[in-house]
Amino acid sequence: MKTLNFEDLTQLRKKAHAELNVRELSYAATSEESCGLAVGTEHIQLLCCGGTGCKASNSAKIVDNLKAAIEAEGIADKVDVIVTGCFGFCEKGPIVKVMPDNTFYTQVKPEDAEEIVKEHVIGGRKVERLLYVDPKTQHTVSDSKHMDFYRKQLRVALRNCGFIDPENIEEYIARDGYAALANALQNQTPEEVIEVIKQSGLRGRGGAGFPTGMKWGFARNYQAENKYVVCNADEGDPGAFMDRSIMEGDPHSVLEAMAICAYCIGANKGLIYIRAEYPLAVHRLRIAIEQAREYGLIGKCVLGSDFNFDVEIRYGAGAFVCGEETALIHSMEGKRGEPTLKPPFPAESGYNGYPTNVNNVETLANVPIILTKGAEWFASIGTEKSKGTKVFALAGKINNVGLIEVPMGTTLREIIYDIGGGVKNGKKFKAVQTGGPSGGCLTEKHLDIPIDYDSLTAAGSMMGSGGMIVMDEDDCMVSVAKFYLEFTVSESCGKCTPCRIGNKRLLEILTRITEGKGTMEDLDTLKTLAATIKDTALCGLGQTSPNPVLSTIDNFYDEYVEHVKQHKCRSKQCKALLTYSINPEKCKGCGACKRGCPADAILGDLRKPHVINPFKCIRCGMCQSRCHFDAIVVI
């Protein structure tokens, strides 16, 4: 294929758009009727999620089976099976969508494929048992637009995820892909593009929320023979998978944005720093880079202009601190990923000493659409200081685990109760953790805050990259703080004293408290030491690492005091504070617990109530999970 020029791209878009039309139309208007070859539909497309989550549930096999069934029915010329990126509703995955009637099948199994093809694709009858059931009304809902999970979402960064085939560049082009780049190269100066980004109010989605346009402006102002554009895809928050989903579902949006950024700052080299633990994202990025190169959308003389830009992939190797931009740069240079002091900022001296602009994946994914739809459109979404939308990985004790995107300013309550469907198993909401190891735990009283960068920071947490973990009454907040600190301690690069030793000491104190050995003085020490670490640590990781501790002390002080004074963990998570016993009324003497006990702590004869020797018991909870009669009592 010959590389495209501006005119070719426009032509190709028209052609590709026509092919994608069946999906575009169905997205626009959903019909209550079913489509089906038997009822006169001419062309049907089946979209199947090929994100990591659904793949883990065997979605590849579903695709195979769908294709086989279509082949067997001899309808391959009328029906396409398209593997897309993540639909977001991971809780109900794997998901198969039927177009053009926009039917949304949930928790599909490979053996369901034949039925979908026979019943729906051919017969035009929806497979009722695979439809989503609204937990509130108990009615089935056949399309996503009418699901609470999707109703309050606004998919901007995720606009193509779950819609296009990420391995097919023409589908991206059909969705106005590379139009922003073409327009910039043809009609805009770099300064003009930067101005649009500034006007849009886009802020960095990686955590700190620095204005993106301003960052580009800095990098543009430094003169050097080489400059670099870096995409930070080292998503390391435990429990966050926003960036990965974008790269898996819409890799070209990232590439296009990098090319635009390069044009703006005067770079001709792009680097994507990605976790090696993301094989699927790497695979899709590689394909995207190859295709973009083949089409002349990156490489020498992009679209026939005099702009050169190429992209390389660099691998992370499992170090959370490499999400910090200076550490990331050192890692790309083949060194230990240790942060260095800023200034100098990467815009002045970054990769190999050259001016470097680092943006995170989600930030970049917003860029092309801002340029095609305009700064005013983007700035009309969100709050005064935080424009646009934010993607969150909603997880934990929540009914609808998944990847969501909402306008800035949406409240936590809307996210948790409307989109997330409330707390799992009818338990009581306790806290929601945002911002990962750098963030904090927010409570009931924070639920109505419109979330944006500044309100979350004011509430003692932070936006972070978008992890959002819901916790219920069974979660011990001291243990949660300890969990995050364990993470920070193991991920600290070890360079500066406060983070290397200070966080270790914080963790030791927390451990003492969860073992019932803490003192009230420890609680004061936690606070003062945490404050010093925030004040003196070298990089963003260290400076924010005490946040989970501070926010849980602030919001759940009673729980800390309970651990210290009463040696009690109300959520029954702190093993050392628990006592296991057997309720003789309920015990049937079946012996299941006794056989499962790894510590030989359970005594008793068959068919007679058993007892636990508290001195031998290691509080592993094995007996409880083995007991069929709910006879194990934990206090």
At its nearest, how many Å lie between another protein and the CB of residue 618?
A: 10
At its nearest, how many Å lie between another protein and the CB of residue 409?
A: 25
Q: Binder to another protein among 318, 353, 584, 614 (CB under 8 A)? A: 318
401/144 Cα distance (integer angstroms):
15
Q: Among residue numbers 573 through 612, which ones bind another protein (CB under 8 A)?
A: 598
Q: Are 340 and 287 in contact (CB under 8 A)?
A: no
Residue written as token pair 């990467």? 346
Q: Among residue numbers 208 through 247, which ones bind another protein (CB under 8 A)?
A: 236-241, 244-245
Residue among 327 and 381 whose Cβ is closer to another protein: 327
Q: Binder to another protein among 228, 453, 487, 580 (CB under 8 A)? A: 487
381/362 Cα distance (integer angstroms):
16
At its nearest, how many Å lie between another protein and the CB of residue 449?
A: 21
Q: Binder to another protein among 36, 85, 93, 409 (CB under 8 A)? A: 93
Pairing of strands 402-407, 389-396: antiparallel
Encoded tokens for 483 = 């969990």
Residue written as token pair 């700052």? 265
255/180 Cα distance (integer angstroms):
12
627/629 Cα distance (integer angstroms):
6
Residue among 57 and 168 whose Cβ is closer to another protein: 57
At its nearest, how many Å lie between another protein and the CB of residue 560?
A: 19
List the end-to-end C-alpha distance of the chain, in Å, as a whole number.
70
Any contact of residue 544 with another protein (CB under 8 A)?
no
Any contact of residue 519 with another protein (CB under 8 A)?
no
At its nearest, how many Å lie between another protein and the CB of residue 133?
A: 17
Q: What angle, 0 to 180 degrees and rounded to 10, lies between the N-to-C axes of helices 179-187 and 251-265?
A: 20
491/226 Cα distance (integer angstroms):
32
Q: Among residue numbers 436 through 475, which ones bind another protein (CB under 8 A)?
A: 436, 467, 469, 471, 475
Contacts of 436 (CB under 8 A, 6+ apart): 237, 238, 239, 240, 464, 465, 467, 484
Any contact of residue 323 with another protein (CB under 8 A)?
no
Any contact of residue 135 with another protein (CB under 8 A)?
no
At its nearest, how many Å lie between another protein and the CB of residue 86?
A: 9
Residue among 381 and 394 whose Cβ is closer to another protein: 394
At its nearest, how many Å lie between another protein and the CB of residue 9?
A: 33
Q: Which stretch binds another protein (CB under 8 A): 14-22, 75-83, 293-301, 309-317?
A: 309-317
At its nearest, how many Å lie between another protein and the CB of residue 103?
A: 20
Q: Which stretch binds another protein (CB under 8 A): 144-152, 260-268, 298-306, 503-511?
A: 503-511
Beta bridge partners of 105: 96, 131
583: DSSP letter: -
Any contact of residue 315 with another protein (CB under 8 A)?
yes
Q: Among residue numbers 364 through 403, which ones bind another protein (CB under 8 A)?
A: 393, 395-397, 401-402
Any contact of residue 621 with another protein (CB under 8 A)?
yes
Q: Among residue numbers 149 through 208, which ones bind another protein (CB under 8 A)?
A: none
Select from 259, 331, 330 the least CA-distant residue to 300: 259
Q: Which stretch binds another protein (CB under 8 A): 37-45, 84-92, 208-216, 562-570?
A: 84-92
Contacts of 501 (CB under 8 A, 6+ apart): none
Q: Where are the beta strands (DSSP E) in 265-346?
A: 269-274, 310-315
Q: Binder to another protein among 34, 45, 91, 422 (CB under 8 A)? A: 91
Phi, psi for 317 (deg, rounded to 5)? -140, 35
Residue among 299 and 621 whose Cβ is closer to another protein: 621
Residue among 189 and 532 whose Cβ is closer to another protein: 532
Cis peptide before 339 (omega within 30 of 0): no
At its nearest, how many Å lie between another protein and the CB of residue 354?
A: 12
**Residue 285 CA to chain centroid, in angstroms?**
17
Q: Binder to another protein among 68, 276, 603, 606 (CB under 8 A)? A: 276
Q: Binder to another protein among 14, 145, 300, 335 (CB under 8 A)? A: 335
Any contact of residue 343 with another protein (CB under 8 A)?
yes
481/511 Cα distance (integer angstroms):
10
Any contact of residue 305 with another protein (CB under 8 A)?
no
Q: Are 441 and 210 in contact (CB under 8 A)?
A: no
485/604 Cα distance (integer angstroms):
41
Q: Binder to another protein among 186, 187, 497, 519 (CB under 8 A)? A: 497
What DSSP string runs through 333-371?
TTS------SSSPTTTS-GGGS-EEEEEHHHHHHHHHHH
Q: Which stretch binds another protein (CB under 8 A): 273-281, 296-304, 359-367, 379-387?
A: 273-281
At its nearest, how many Å lie between another protein and the CB of residue 378?
A: 27
What DSSP string runs through 164-216?
S-TT-HHHHHHTTTTHHHHHHHHH--HHHHHHHHHHHT-B-TTSS--BHHHHH
Residue among 305 and 543 whose Cβ is closer to another protein: 543
Q: Are 405 and 156 in contact (CB under 8 A)?
A: yes
3-state secondary structure (DSSP) of residue 143: coil
Q: Where are the beta strands (DSSP E) in 268-331?
A: 269-274, 310-315
6/186 Cα distance (integer angstroms):
8
CA triple 46-147-79, angle to 5 deg: 10
Residue among 372 and 525 whose Cβ is closer to another protein: 525
Type and span of the H or E element at 602: strand 602-603
Q: Binder to another protein among 502, 518, 589, 604 (CB under 8 A)? A: 502
At its nearest, how many Å lie between another protein and the CB of residue 531?
A: 9
Select from 142, 174, 175 the least CA-distant residue to 158: 175
Q: Binder to another protein among 84, 331, 349, 356 (CB under 8 A)? A: 331
Q: Which stretch binds another protein (CB under 8 A): 28-36, 151-159, 440-448, 616-624?
A: 616-624
For the chain, how many residues are written?
Answer: 635
At its nearest, how many Å lie between another protein and the CB of residue 276?
A: 6
Q: Binder to another protein among 373, 543, 561, 562 (CB under 8 A)? A: 543
Q: Binder to another protein among 124, 166, 337, 422 (CB under 8 A)? A: 337
Q: Binder to another protein among 336, 427, 567, 570 (CB under 8 A)? A: 336
3-state secondary structure (DSSP) of residue 456: helix
Residue among 163 and 241 whose Cβ is closer to another protein: 241
Q: Among residue numbers 408 through 427, which ones bind another protein (CB under 8 A)?
A: none
Q: Binder to another protein among 377, 536, 570, 581 (CB under 8 A)? A: 536
How many residues contact another protein, by CB under 8 A?
88
What are the respective helix, strand and coil percentages of the chain, to the nearest 5?
Answer: 45, 15, 40
